[in-house]
Amino acid sequence: MKLGTLQIALATIGALVVSGSSLAQEIPEVVIEVPHVEKSKQPGHMGPAPALSIVYKVSYADLNLATHTGAVALEARIKDSATRACQQLATLFPTTVEGETPCVQGAMKNAMEQAKKAIAAAEKAKT
C-alpha cells in the first residue's frame, strides 16, 4: 500500500471513529451499572474486585426533561431500573458483596449524574 493510500485509509478510519462517538452521545439514555463483586478467597489479595456488571439502559427519548414532570419521570425510571438490576444480580450471584454503598444507591448515583447533565442541557436548550 502506498503512503498516500495509507494516509487516506487512516483518515477515513479516524473520521468513522469521530462520527461514531458523536452518534453515541446523541442517544437519549442513561446507563445504570451494577457491579458483581465477590469476596476474595486468595491470601494476600487486596480485597473484592469486580468480576462483571449488569448494565441497564434507560431511555428518556419520550420525555421532555425541560419540565419538572419529565425530570421526575426519568428519576423514577432510573430508580426502578437500578432496583431491578440489583435484584437480578442478587438472584444470579447470591455471593455478591455490597460495597460501602448499598446496591441501589450506588447504581443510582452515577445514573443520576448523567440524568442531571441531560436535564440541564434540556433546560438550556429550552431558553
As given in the structure block, the three cell numbers for residue 107 are: 447504581
Tell me the average pLDDT across 77-100: 86
CB-CB contact of 115 with 30 (8 Å): yes
Look at residue 18 in the predicted model and tell me its pLDDT.
40
Q: What average pLDDT does the segment 64-78 reach?
A: 97
90-126 tens-digit pLDDT? 898 887 777 667 899 999 999 999 999 999 999 999 8
Q: Has residue 75 got a pLDDT over 60? A: yes
Coil/strand/helix, residue 127: coil
How do residues 5-48 score in pLDDT, each as one tens digit? 434 433 334 333 444 444 445 689 999 998 877 655 555 555 55
For residues 72 and 126, give the distance between their C-alpha atoms in angstroms, rounded to a whole number. 17
For CA atoms 53, 34, 85, 96, give the dihedral sign. positive
**pLDDT in the model for residue 92:** 87
The residue among 81, 69, 74, 56 whose CA lies nearest residue 115 is 74
The predicted pLDDT at position 115 comes to 96
- CA atoms lying within 13 Å on the CB side of residue 90: 10
The predicted model gives 65-79 an average pLDDT of 97
pLDDT attached to residue 3: 44
Beta bridge partners of 48: none
Q: Where are the domains of the chain?
A: 28-126
